Structure 1
Amino acid sequence: MFKLIIVGFLMLLNLEASTDEALKAFKNKDYATAFRLYEKSAIEGDAKAQSALSYLFSNGLGTKQDSTKAMFWLEKAAKGANSTAQYDLGMMYLSGYKVEKDSKKAFELLSKSAEQNNPNAQYNLSLMYYNGDTVDLNVTKAAQLLESAANQGHKVAEQNIGRVYMQLLKFEEASKWLEKNAANGDDSAYYFLAEVYCQLEEFKKAKEWAQKAIDTGNKEAKLLYEKHELQKY
């Protein structure tokens, strides 16, 4: 149903900080100046600067590459409620990347990040609820998180939320997202839409989507078409 997104170490860090000069220097590839300014703000307790400093240490930008210091500042930023740092660190624990795998820590960090509406955290946390990984299986909670991520433009969440709503028998909600999937070129959504509209007894729409699915070679759609005698509509 889902694809687990494993993001490269610190690739999504928010490089904004309390000083515009640091971000400007970073964008201008003046990494030495960016490092100096971010370090000053990080030491003063700015969580965004701490997150940025972790990125610079991790990638050896403006300073010597140092994974230990990168992790130190990432943990600082996460404790300082920086949602992106919480997400990155959570994914590291979830995948066992450069740390010992710990699903419990991953769940705690992703939950904190998701509460701040980080769509990537919401998506991966939904996966944990959907699979019952470290937490009791809860498809309804998974759907809530998925929809929140999808509403923020998370593409994989958009592709999956309609299918999860089908499992929950929430066909009206499912149709909304599946229609969007179909409009975005996802022809696998055609069959699901045909099935949803059969459940809603909107057989004219079901016929339309079943035919589209059949045209793509979907054998299940042909069986659905015959079962509900959609040729009558």
Structure 2
Amino acid sequence: MINFDYLEQNLDALRVQYLTAQPFPYLIIDGFCDEEKLQKAYANVPELNNKSRDYGFAGNKFEKSNYKEICPEFLELYNDLSSERFNTILAYITAKKTFVDPKNFGGGLHQGKKNSFLDMHLDFNYHPLNKNWYRELNLLLYLNKDWKPEYGGHLKIKDLRTNEEAALEVPFNRMIIQQCAPYSLHGYDMTSFPEGKYRTSIATYAYQVHEMIIEKPRTTDWFPKEDASLLKKAFAKNYNFLVKTKNKFFGSATAKNQ
């Protein structure tokens, strides 16, 4: 499913592009998958009804964690992404011993319907189940057929250290590999896709094993817009504490959704 030959033939160029990108390391790969197979996979994408658990920070966004069950092409993609061959490629490009979570905790098929949005945020840093796995990368494969810039939904990234930002286009069969760090904000503004079209992506995450915990473990940190309500800003400020308290007594809803 993945165009491995292209990746392996261009490793050095991809590595340079990733490591030198601004405002922080990221990489855009067009034609990431075999086009014909990805078209077949796209044709099997259902309308999702499992709403994101990101409360008020994600608008009209739906998810399916076990996307590999949808069709053979998605199963092949899932297996390719978690393969040793792909892990070797990732480790070379990023110059770190990274590997894809074989169970894809928290990832899956994401579908943004009418007026969908995702507030800027930092992702959780340490894996909730494998406590010394540090989240190094988001891998986002976009399935936006016939996407146009005016539809919106660009992946917005921002460096908290410098306030530098960028807006990355999200057409069909584009993979964006984005560094996860304590400063790498990302999200997307409200979309205006035509009726019957959705902002669609496959999210996968890669990690590095840490022998020593170097950061305080966190869940998602949210950064609502300046014009957000006071209630939303207060919720964002206390989100980590509230989620940790809930998980302590009721368990992780994300873990249960695998």
TM range (shorter): under 0.3
TM-score, with structure 1 as normaliser: 0.24
Larger relative contact order, structure 1 or 2 (CA cutoff 8 Å, min sep 6): 2
The structure where strand makes up a greater share of residues is: 2
Higher Rg of the two aligned structures: 1
The structure where helix makes up a greater share of residues is: 1
